[in-house]
């Protein structure tokens, strides 16, 4: 039992000496940790305030003639009177018609 106490005391003394020798580096690391933590807390609320796209009921949906997918008119690609959901559908329909 006394051997374990001696081993524990030696380990604690070694840890104490290491902490004493590197106290400035430990203090600098702690200050950096606190700084980054505060920065993360300040940036986090700003990310939540990013305005989301307005998905109100005023948005008109149009159907893609190629894939029959409904998309908002603001996001659709227009060719003459037709609205396509994406450029790939538009390209496929043009090459298909040739």
- Looking at the domain assignment, is residue 88 inside a domain? yes
Q: Are residues 7 and 39 in the same domain?
A: yes
pLDDT for 12 beyond 70: yes
The total of structural domains in the chain comes to 2
Q: Is residue 14 part of a domain?
A: yes
> Is residue 53 in a domain?
no
Structural domain contains residue 75: yes
Per-position DSSP letters for 28-66, written without gaps between them: HHHHHHHHHHHHHHHHHHHHHTSPPPP--TTPPEEE-TT
Contact indicator for 62, 73 with CB cutoff of 8 Å: yes
**What is the pLDDT at residue 94?**
80
In the chain, how long is the greatest CA-to-CA distance?
Answer: 93
The domain in which residue 34 lies consists of: 2-48
- Residue-wise pLDDT for 34-73, tens only, equals 999 988 888 776 555 555 665 556 789 999 998 999 999 8
Q: 65 and 43 in one domain?
A: no
Q: Answer yes or no: is 37 within a domain.
A: yes
Q: What is the mean pLDDT of residues 16-36?
A: 94
Choose between 64 and 98: higher pLDDT: 64
Residues 49, 51, 55, 60, Cα dihedral to 10°: 180
54 within a domain of the structure (yes/no): no
Q: What is the pTM of this model?
A: 0.40
């Amino acid at each position: 039992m006394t051997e374990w106490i001696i081993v524990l005391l030696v380990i604690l003394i070694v840890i104490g000496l290491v902490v004493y020798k590197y106290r400035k580096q430990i203090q600098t690391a702690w200050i950096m940790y606190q700084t980054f933590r505060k920065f993360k807390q300040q940036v986090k609320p700003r990310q939540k305030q990013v305005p989301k796209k307005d998905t109100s009921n005023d948005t008109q949906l149009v159907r893609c003639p190629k894939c029959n997918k409904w998309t908002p008119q603001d996001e659709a690609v227009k060719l003459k009177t037709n609205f396509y959901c994406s450029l790939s559908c538009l390209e496929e329909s043009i090459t298909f018609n040739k």
